[in-house]
Amino acid sequence: MHKSEQAMRWGLRIHLLWYVIVNLVQVLLWGTLTPDHFFWPVWSIVGWGIGLVAHFWVIRSKSRSAIRST
């Protein structure tokens, strides 16, 4: 059984919300504690960003396939 499109979009919004919150906290920590060193939050921003794009892509392809099947 597949999740409804609305539930999948809600999950993506939650994923995006946590992505922004966690990475913002990391950038603030970097700026407070080690601003003169390498911008280390870039690793989680890029890595998690790839996962977020993949999440978006899956939802987009599922909604497109649902449109085609109707």
Each residue's pLDDT tens digit, 12-56: 999 999 999 999 999 999 999 999 999 999 999 999 999 999 999
User: Which is more confident, 34 or 69?
Assistant: 34
Residue 56: exposure state from Cβ atoms within 10 A (0-12, 13-18, ≥19): middle
Q: Which two tokens stand for residue 56?
A: 């978006």
Q: Rounded to two decimals, what is the model's pTM?
A: 0.82
Structure tokens at 3: 């999740």
Higher pLDDT: 62 or 25? It is 25
In order of 11, 44, 60, 68, the CA distances from 63 in angstroms are 14, 28, 5, 9
Task: Take residue 61 and report the two structure tokens written for it.
Answer: 């392809």
Q: How far apart (Å, rounded) are the C-alpha atoms in residues 70 and 62? A: 13
Choice between 6 and 41, residue whose per-residue pLDDT is larger: 41
